Structure 1
């Protein structure tokens, strides 16, 4: 009798778990389906707990002209999610003793006009440097299609007046991550693209990730779109402009490998990771809600590490709940379809999985 009761209990619990899973999947489908429709540019979404994939689906079209359905392994431009890789690359060099977070940037770029200020690598990583964001400079359209070296791009904004003194404010800033990319090249002796490929992508077997290129044929790459009165192809921009602040390509599967490696301290030690995911403060002690390459915030009272990306024709968003070990990532091939709120809502659904 006890054996029969035990078997019944096991079967009942299995049924309950399966029902919960199906209900969660259906709810996730519904949330995503409100934005991503079959005959429009699409997206790919993935949910994982630890290393277990709980949800992985593609929506819409990868190419409207050829009517190619999106597939879960397709490649997207991830925009400012690139900043995560730049920050960890800097942290890896710090562990190797090749630089320090508190180094002033003039140690690596001696002719940089700091306007009497002490600007450190830490300030660049946390968007507290006060340097003018080059994407906000009106004349940016004059260089948008040009292939520039990091030095030429830095020259475009370095003479601009500072927005504030270092550490006095938090203001999201792409220029800081451009300078970080240049420092990586100076310290490592490799190009930024080579360094990321050799020290991160290859060791983690992120085989579908790379520095973006307009010339190279990249299989399974989704096309990007804007929505005006109708869907149109995305605006051309040289990838030398977003550079270390936003020029990487990836997939949801590779980004899960990235998250697993971060959690396992594969690339950096625990003490360094704690510095990356610290909620830093301004000079007056006020928390900024940002670490090194990630926003540090709360999601339904749970600690959350998150970041999005936006580049012509594409948007991305990822949320990681470290206490629950839940990772949610969404990639879109139209900058009209933002995955940001979707990913946040889906993370809330799976938080207690």
Structure 2
């Protein structure tokens, strides 16, 4: 039986620098039950602080009366208790959830979808029966969502403002003129340094366009060709069945393993700051037995490829990549606040420290190692405007090179990827948009440019919970005059879609099971109970969904949605999961759609110790309390969920076990999104 994991082609540009792993669908979190009631509903009033206490199992309930499309902002001072907050709309449906910071001031907020009484529930985070303590809650703002773009920016960024929070910055420009530039919150909490306009911030994968630009400069100088075999410049790389060309590196179509995902499989704890050296990239590629896809045939976000692109710049220029960028790009453009950080040990002056919420307050996380080429650039919001202005009126590089960067790459079968050279390429309400998001461990970034109107903006933050996608919302506000009306208005609709108009029986056409192409063992199951619809992901709790059109649904408990897709005959063939980018899932039909429920005897077949020559790593599987459990020296213990027969998933990993002709389990192939087909063989 062939148990190789098979990932179909995907078309999605905006993925950050970082390992996908459990992040691929980590947002599909189980909804925690709220327990008992600690207090009657108490109305919150703007500017009034209320004190309270919580014990495990208690729920404190507060109400906020709002109009439709109001903006609400509040904060909880967690004096001696770790609080999770959730917001219920007037119908009692969860509209938002906030938590993660165990001590100190944590803000909550957002816009309301309807008028009426919203309920805020507070309960003790986690399941520690002895947990509990004091808190204070304050409603800071309750007002209409701003129609003025600058006021809207203040509302969007307000959750990350103030002296207690990691912060961020927004800058907007058009035709060479700065329209808006403002900073919020703190760049460094240890030294009480505010976020300022000249604060250098790790822009994560937003860096990729700079690496692609460097490749284009070297091509202009005749030092390389985009059609070169990459082994012409890095001859120590292995010769695969198919040739990887330079253009495949900067379009995410190379077929190489994604190194951050791969290293996570070995037990490297990237979330704990484990060291990664750039030199490991070549070693990783040398150990890869075969390409994951034919170059140019599939779009699969790949940090390895951009790291190798930086090496090619070095080999063709004779300069270290940080020096090349300083002397050939940043310096000539006057981007004095921008630099490539050679490693996580190198000092960056006037930088923002990255923070993530932890059980005892904010934690300094540091940067990902080995990121040069894929990330590792620190920049300022002013320098990023300067960079965009070079796109509009090139002073470094040619118009032809920049236009090529902003053109969607075409795969071998003629399909466009929606990604050029280091840039996502799409539209926003009729305007061509080129952009790139970035996410290191804790920093978040977004760069957006609209070439047709010579305008753009950037959002930056050193808070791990910041949503860089707000850049698109702000773009719609600042450049409204140049954009088409909202899609529903453009289609002639007078009213928004009313979920009550959706025929429940129409959902039966969508009901079934869908496997994510990037992680085939991660299954989304869709079911209906009367007029209520649900989805359930592998190993997770069932979540309610509501229709937003005749083929799209929004998850109520998390920030995610799905769009069901039809083939040429009109049959539902799959769906797109919209969460941290777009991920295609293929519908499982026939026998494949039936869930596998392994017996204790079945599970015993998989117990044992396995070794990967490629990773030089051992995995051990054991049957514990009726479940198959993964053990690895540095990874957390993971109880695995069965999927299709002989397949399991857990901890962000998918396992497809392999049997010999006698039915004995002899190994497995493991995947975690961007890296797949990594084989382990049984050793006992």
Q: TM-score, normalised by structure 1?
A: 0.88
Contact 2:281 2:304 in 1 (8 A): no
Deviation at 1:159, TM superposition (A): 2.0
Contact 1:167 1:283 in 2 (8 A): yes
Cα distance between partner residues in 1 of 2:367 and 2:480: 42
Superposed, 1:178-257 pairs within 5 Å as 178-212=307-341, 214-237=344-367, 239=369, 241-257=370-386
Superposed, 1:100-111 pairs within 5 Å as 100-111=225-236
Change in Cα spacing, 1:238 to 1:128, as seen in structure 2 (3 Å) is closer
Secondary structure at the aligned position of 1:246 is classed as coil
Cα distance between partner residues in 1 of 2:368 and 2:301: 21
Mapped pair 1:54 → 2:182: no
Aligned pair partner of 1:36 in 160, 168, 183: 160
Change in Cα spacing, 1:230 to 1:310, as seen in structure 2 (3 Å) is farther
Cα distance between partner residues in 1 of 2:366 and 2:466: 19
Contact 2:436 2:446 in 1 (8 A): yes
Deviation at 1:269, TM superposition (A): 1.3
User: Structure 1 stretches of 5 or more lacking a match?
Assistant: 1-20
Superposed, 1:1-80 pairs within 5 Å as 23-33=148-158, 35-38=159-162, 39-80=164-205
Cα distance between partner residues in 1 of 2:346 and 2:366: 15
Deviation at 1:214, TM superposition (A): 4.6
Deviation at 1:313, TM superposition (A): 1.8
Q: Which is further off, 51-60 or 221-230?
A: 221-230
Contact 1:86 1:180 in 2 (8 A): yes
Q: Which residue is equivalent to 1:345?
A: 473
Deviation at 1:162, TM superposition (A): 1.9
Q: Which residue is equivalent to 1:12?
A: none
Contact 2:258 2:304 in 1 (8 A): yes
Q: Which residue is equivalent to 2:206?
A: 81
Q: Which residue is equivalent to 2:402?
A: 273
Cα distance between partner residues in 2 of 1:158 and 1:63: 40
Contact 2:169 2:183 in 1 (8 A): yes
Secondary structure at the aligned position of 1:244 is classed as coil
Q: Which residue is equivalent to 2:280?
A: 152
Q: Which is further off, 152-161 or 318-327?
A: 152-161
Aligned pair partner of 1:90 in 215, 219, 222: 215
Cα distance between partner residues in 1 of 2:190 and 2:245: 47
Change in Cα spacing, 1:217 to 1:130, as seen in structure 2 (3 Å) is closer
Change in Cα spacing, 1:168 to 1:231, as seen in structure 2 (3 Å) is farther
Secondary structure at the aligned position of 2:305 is classed as helix
Deviation at 1:228, TM superposition (A): 3.0
Q: Which residue is equivalent to 2:266?
A: 139
Cα distance between partner residues in 1 of 2:269 and 2:355: 22
Change in Cα spacing, 1:292 to 1:230, as seen in structure 2 (3 Å) is farther
Deviation at 1:22, TM superposition (A): 9.0
Contact 2:368 2:441 in 1 (8 A): no
Cα distance between partner residues in 2 of 1:48 and 1:154: 40
> How large is the RMSD of aligned CA atoms in angstroms?
2.0
Q: Show CA shifts across 1:34-73 (max 9, x none).
A: x423221100110000210011011111122233222122
Contact 2:366 2:442 in 1 (8 A): no
Cα distance between partner residues in 2 of 1:186 and 1:216: 22
Q: How many equivalent residue pairs?
A: 329
Cα distance between partner residues in 1 of 2:376 and 2:267: 17
Change in Cα spacing, 1:40 to 1:198, as seen in structure 2 (3 Å) is same
Contact 1:233 1:313 in 2 (8 A): no
Deviation at 1:142, TM superposition (A): 7.2
Cα distance between partner residues in 2 of 1:280 and 1:214: 32
Q: Show CA shifts across 1:209-231 (max 9, x none).
A: 11225555543211110123354
Contact 1:145 1:237 in 2 (8 A): no
Q: Show CA shifts across 1:253-306 (max 9, x none).
A: 011111111211212211222211111111111110000010001112211000
Deviation at 1:28, TM superposition (A): 2.2
Q: Show CA shifts across 1:94-149 (max 9, x none).
A: 0000001111101111231242111101111100111111011112727964463x
Secondary structure at the aligned position of 1:267 is classed as coil
Mapped pair 1:334 → 2:458: no
Contact 1:225 1:231 in 2 (8 A): no
Secondary structure at the aligned position of 1:243 is classed as coil
Contact 2:332 2:396 in 1 (8 A): no
Query: Of Structure 1 and Structure 2, which has the larger fraction of its residues in helix?
Result: 1
Cα distance between partner residues in 1 of 2:363 and 2:269: 21
User: More relative contact order in 1 or in 2 (CA 8 Å, sep 6+)?
Assistant: 1
Q: Which residue is equivalent to 1:308?
A: 437
Cα distance between partner residues in 2 of 1:55 and 1:236: 29
- Flag the structure with larger Rg: 2
Mapped pair 1:282 → 2:411: yes
Cα distance between partner residues in 1 of 2:204 and 2:384: 13
Mapped pair 1:323 → 2:452: yes
Q: TM-score, normalised by structure 2?
A: 0.46
Query: Of Structure 1 and Structure 2, which has the larger fraction of its residues in strand?
Result: 2
Q: Which residue is equivalent to 2:106?
A: none
Cα distance between partner residues in 1 of 2:464 and 2:212: 25
Q: Which residue is equivalent to 2:302?
A: 173
Secondary structure at the aligned position of 1:158 is classed as helix
Q: Which is further off, 59-68 or 174-183?
A: 59-68
